Structure 1
Amino acid sequence: MNSRKTLFQFGYRRSADQDRPSPARHAVIVVGAGPVGLCTAIDLAQRGVPVVLLDDADRIGEGSRGICYAKRTLEILDRLGVAEPCLERGVTWKLGKVFQRNDQLYAFDLLPEDGHKMPAFINLQQYYLEHALVERAADLPDLDIRWRNKVIGLQRRNDGVTLTIETPEGAYDLEADWVVAADGARSALRGMLGLDFRGEVFEDRFLIADVRMKGDFPPERWFWFDPPFHDGRSALLHKQPDDVWRIDLQLGPDADAKAEQTPERVMPRLRQMLGHENFTLEWVSVYTFQCRRLERFVHGRVVFAGDAAHQVSPFGARGANSGIQDAENLAWKLALVVRGEAPERLIDTYDIERSAAADENIGHSTRSTDFIAPRSAQERRFRDATLALARHTPFAKRMVNSGRLSLPSTYETPLSTPDRETWSGSARLGAPLPDAPMRTRSGQPVWLLEALGSEETVIHVPDGAPQPAGERVLVIGDDLIDAQGYFARRFDSTPGSTYLVRPDQHLAARWRHPARSQIERASRRLRGSEGDRA
Structure 2
Amino acid sequence: MNKIFETPLYPYTRSPDQDAATPVRRKVVIIGAGPVGLAAAIDLAQQGIEAVILDENDKVSFGSRAICFAKRPLEILDRLGCGDPFVDKGVQWNVGKVFFDDRQVYDFNLLPEDGHKRPAFINLQQYYFEEYLVRRVFELQAEGAPIEIRGRNKVEAIGTHPDHVALEVDTPEGAYTLEADWLIACDGANSPTRRMLGLDFVGRVFEDNFLIADVIMEADFPTERWFWFDPPFNKGQSALLHKQPDNVWRIDLQLGWDIDKEREKRPENVIPRLREMLGNEVEFELEWVSIYTFQCRRMEDFRHGRVLFAGDAAHQVSPFGARGANSGLQDTDNLAWKLKLVLDGTAPETLLDSYNQERIYGADENILNSSRSTDFITPKSEMSRTLRDAVLDLSEHYEFARPLVNSGRLSVPCTYDGSSLNSADALDGPERTRPGSSCPDATLGDGYLLDQLGDRFVLLTIDADAPDSFNEDGIEVTRLALSVKDDPTLDLKRRYLGEADGAVYLIRPDQHVAARRPAFDEHHFRAALRRATGKE
**TM-score for the superposition, normalised by structure 2:** 0.95
Deviates more, 1:291-300 or 1:453-462: 453-462
Deviation at 1:385, TM superposition (A): 2.1
Residue type matched to 2:274 in 1? L
Distance 2:257 2:384 in 1: 16
2:151 corresponds to 1:152:
no
Local SS of the residue matching 1:528 = coil
Alignment of 1:195-234 (within 5 A): 195-234=199-238
User: Equivalent residue for 2:420?
Assistant: 414
User: Equivalent residue for 2:357?
Assistant: 352
Task: Choose from 274, 277, 294 the match for 2:278.
Answer: 274
CA deviations on 1:357-409 (whole Å, 9 max, x unpaired) are: 11110010011001101122332222122222222322221101100000111
User: Equivalent residue for 1:385?
Assistant: 390
Distance 2:93 2:462 in 1: 35
Distance 1:232 1:419 in 2: 51
Distance 2:172 2:65 in 1: 28
Deviation at 1:344, TM superposition (A): 0.2
CA deviations on 1:170-201 (whole Å, 9 max, x unpaired) are: 00001111000000011011001100100001
Residue type matched to 2:119 in 1? P
Deviates more, 1:7-16 or 1:326-335: 7-16
Local SS of the residue matching 2:232 = coil
Residue type matched to 2:451 in 1? E
Distance 2:434 2:114 in 1: 19
User: Equivalent residue for 1:177?
Assistant: 181
Deviation at 1:490, TM superposition (A): 1.1
CA deviations on 1:185-218 (whole Å, 9 max, x unpaired) are: 1101100110010000111000000111111100
* Distance verdict in 2 for CA 1:39–1:420, change over 3 Å: closer
CA deviations on 1:26-77 (whole Å, 9 max, x unpaired) are: 1100000000000000000001101111001111141000000000010001
Native 8 Å contact 1:4 1:63 kept in 2:
no
Native 8 Å contact 1:124 1:241 kept in 2:
yes
Distance 2:2 2:294 in 1: 24
2:26 corresponds to 1:21:
no
* Distance verdict in 2 for CA 1:483–1:60, change over 3 Å: same
User: Equivalent residue for 2:449?
Assistant: 448
Residue type matched to 1:138 in 2? F
Native 8 Å contact 1:197 1:293 kept in 2:
yes
User: Equivalent residue for 2:474?
Assistant: none
2:291 corresponds to 1:290:
no
CA deviations on 1:329-360 (whole Å, 9 max, x unpaired) are: 01111111111111000000000000011111
Counting aligned pairs with the same residue, the percent is 55
* Distance verdict in 2 for CA 1:377–1:127, change over 3 Å: same
Native 8 Å contact 2:466 2:520 kept in 1:
no
2:523 corresponds to 1:517:
yes
User: Equivalent residue for 1:320?
Assistant: 325
Task: Choose from 174, 183, 191 the match for 2:195.
Answer: 191
Native 8 Å contact 1:4 1:283 kept in 2:
no
User: Equivalent residue for 1:442?
Assistant: none
Distance 2:465 2:515 in 1: 21
Residue type matched to 1:526 in 2? A
User: Equivalent residue for 2:444?
Assistant: 438
Native 8 Å contact 2:433 2:439 kept in 1:
yes
Distance 1:417 1:3 in 2: 50
Native 8 Å contact 1:4 1:282 kept in 2:
no
* Distance verdict in 2 for CA 1:43–1:335, change over 3 Å: same
Native 8 Å contact 1:33 1:53 kept in 2:
yes
Distance 1:325 1:158 in 2: 27
CA deviations on 1:316-337 (whole Å, 9 max, x unpaired) are: 0000000110011011111111
Native 8 Å contact 1:438 1:483 kept in 2:
no
Native 8 Å contact 2:97 2:108 kept in 1:
yes
Deviation at 1:426, TM superposition (A): 3.7
User: Equivalent residue for 2:60?
Assistant: 60
User: Equivalent residue for 1:30?
Assistant: 30
Distance 2:304 2:23 in 1: 22
Distance 1:37 1:61 in 2: 13
* Distance verdict in 2 for CA 1:178–1:466, change over 3 Å: closer
User: Equivalent residue for 1:106?
Assistant: 106
CA deviations on 1:244-272 (whole Å, 9 max, x unpaired) are: 10000000011211011111110111111
Residue type matched to 2:149 in 1? I
CA deviations on 1:422-444 (whole Å, 9 max, x unpaired) are: 213642321110101113xxxxx
Residue type matched to 2:107 in 1? A
Native 8 Å contact 1:425 1:492 kept in 2:
no
Residue type matched to 1:110 in 2? L
Residue type matched to 2:195 in 1? G
Native 8 Å contact 2:464 2:520 kept in 1:
no
Deviation at 1:522, TM superposition (A): 0.3
Distance 2:29 2:399 in 1: 51
Alignment of 1:456-467 (within 5 A): 456-463=457-464
Residue type matched to 2:265 in 1? Q
2:301 corresponds to 1:302:
no
* Distance verdict in 2 for CA 1:167–1:114, change over 3 Å: same
User: Equivalent residue for 2:7?
Assistant: 8
* Distance verdict in 2 for CA 1:288–1:463, change over 3 Å: closer
Native 8 Å contact 2:496 2:503 kept in 1:
no
Deviates more, 1:260-269 or 1:490-499: 490-499
User: Equivalent residue for 1:50?
Assistant: 50
2:472 corresponds to 1:472:
no
* Distance verdict in 2 for CA 1:145–1:517, change over 3 Å: same
User: Equivalent residue for 2:377?
Assistant: 372
User: Equivalent residue for 1:127?
Assistant: 127
Deviation at 1:477, TM superposition (A): 3.9
Native 8 Å contact 1:115 1:435 kept in 2:
yes
Native 8 Å contact 2:4 2:60 kept in 1:
no
Native 8 Å contact 1:509 1:522 kept in 2:
yes
User: Equivalent residue for 1:118?
Assistant: 118
Deviation at 1:17, TM superposition (A): 0.3
Native 8 Å contact 1:3 1:283 kept in 2:
no
Alignment of 1:156-171 (within 5 A): 156-171=160-175
Local SS of the residue matching 1:139 = helix
Distance 1:466 1:166 in 2: 53
Alignment of 1:215-254 (within 5 A): 215-254=219-258
Deviates more, 1:480-489 or 1:519-528: 480-489
Residue type matched to 2:461 in 1? H
Distance 1:18 1:213 in 2: 47
Native 8 Å contact 2:34 2:61 kept in 1:
no
Distance 2:395 2:488 in 1: 42
Distance 1:146 1:169 in 2: 13
